[in-house]
Amino acid sequence: MENLRRDADGGRVLSLDALRGFDMFWIIGGGTIFESLVGVWKHPVTETIRTQLEHVKWEGFRFEDLIFPTFIFLVGAVLPFSLSRRVERGESLVRIHLHVLRRAAVLILLGLIYNGLLRFNLPETRWPGVLQRIGLCYFFAALIVIHTRWRAQAIIVGVVLLAYWAVTMLVPVPGCQAGDLSMQGCLSSYIDQQLIPGQLYYKYGDNEGILSTFPAICTALLGALAGQWLRSNNSGSRKAAGLALAGVACVIVGYLWGLVFPIIKILWTSSYVLFAGGWSLLLLALFYWVIDVQGYRRWAFFFVVIGTNAITIYFLDGLVEFRRIAEFFVGGLAHHSGQLEPLILPLGAFAAAWLLLWFLYRHKIFFKV
């Protein structure tokens, strides 16, 4: 995604890049590093960290279940900045639409290649995926942001989440009762089985399936609403406070909604959208207040390096064996480090990935989709 964001006064909103980098940190090795701590020091604290860095099997919420929705939230958050800049440059509506379409198509194609499309084994290919979902969410959220104002966007979010709740709970699957939210009996799984060719991520459906894409678009729209608030003429402190209040409200509503429509990441339930979106808002509020309002920017460089080439490193992480690179350079150290051995190789693999990103950043090489 584009790496330069500016607020209404023309200043750079560095917190968006930093938060994206913080989010990607856990994907490209940070999670493995912290999970490895339990091998170094077995303690309830490290065991809790390891648990939080594992997805729940179905219903519930852990820190790991926040990473993907936060990225989609940030995809939406930059839309008001990038689209407004194109309008200010005098680009026609047709050209802006073509740009959105091209970017979405490239993301989807990269996702298919990531899933093994070039092996040409179509029956064994998984068609949905992370990049595919990002591309679809970006495409539809961008169209909505282009053609509507923030109030209409908020209404769309509310209507879609309520409609998804109603459809999921009221429409029965053949052989099951309405409102069945099990892997085997939910409507989302049934639709995926009927419409998606190839392999499904879990036996009965797909994590990035058809029906759950609609509420996922709402996650991007929540980000777009946050981005429009950041572009407003309010003071920085008021913007941070507004994001925090909205985050608390979403967490509370999402939790309460989850009592009747459970928080399930794989189904991207309406309660999950609000609960995860609330935490994303709180993270953005914290990053924005510390980095852009208080001006503490140096510490964020570590994450900015990752965030400015986020899609690049996600794609490369699936192709480049950074752990083998780490074994070449620090394998001997790991084998002779005693109790620290479980930690050395994950640290080395992450260091290899980060140094590659630092090289790209230093030479101003930003691969934009």
| Whole-number Å distance between alpha carbons of 320 and 189 | 32
**Which residues contact residue 159 at a Cβ distance below 8 angstroms, ignoring those fewer than 6 apart?**
none
Structure tokens at 253: 């509503």
Please check the confidence at residue 369 and state whether its pLDDT lies above 90: no
Least-confidence region, from 44-58, 80-94, 271-285, 329-343: 329-343
Q: Which of 355, 229, 212, 197 is nearest to 272 (CA)?
A: 212
Could you tell me the residue ranges of all domains in the chain?
14-362
In degrees, rounded to 5, the angle at the alpha carbon of residue 195 between the alpha carbons of residues 27 and 128 is 15
- The amino acid at residue 215 is P
- Block residue for tokens 């942001």: 145
Structure tokens at 196: 């998606």
What are φ and ψ of residue 7, in 5° steps? Answer: -85, -170
| Whole-number Å distance between alpha carbons of 192 and 66 | 23
In the predicted model, what is the mean pLDDT of the chain?
94
Decide: residue 38, CB within 10 A, 0-12 exposed, 13-18 middle, 19+ buried: middle
Structure tokens at 56: 């729940």
Structure tokens at 30: 């940070």
Structure tokens at 205: 């459906």
**pLDDT given for residue 368 in this prediction:** 75
Least-confidence region, from 107-111, 242-246, 327-331: 327-331
In Å, how far are 4, 16, 156 from 96, measured between CA atoms? Answer: 18, 22, 22
In Å, how far are 71, 114, 182, 322, 349 from 317, measured between CA atoms? Answer: 16, 10, 32, 7, 10
Contact indicator for 58, 264 with CB cutoff of 8 Å: yes
pLDDT digits (tens, 9 = 90+) for 101-135: 999 999 999 999 999 999 999 888 999 999 999 99
In degrees, rounded to 5, the angle at the alpha carbon of residue 298 between the alpha carbons of residues 294 and 303 is 105
Q: Which of 222, 204, 211 is nearest to 164 (CA)?
A: 211
Q: What percent of the chain has pLDDT over 90?
A: 88
In Å, how far are 28, 83, 96, 214, 288 from 91, measured between CA atoms? Answer: 36, 10, 7, 29, 30
pLDDT digits (tens, 9 = 90+) for 43-63: 999 999 999 999 999 999 999
Please check the confidence at residue 256 and state whether its pLDDT lies above 50: yes
Q: What percent of the chain has pLDDT over 70?
A: 96
- The dihedral built from the CA positions of residue 330, 332, 337 and 339, taken in this order, carries a sign that is positive
* CA 296 and chain centroid, separation: 25
Strands (E), the chain: none
Please check the confidence at residue 355 and state whether its pLDDT lies above 90: yes
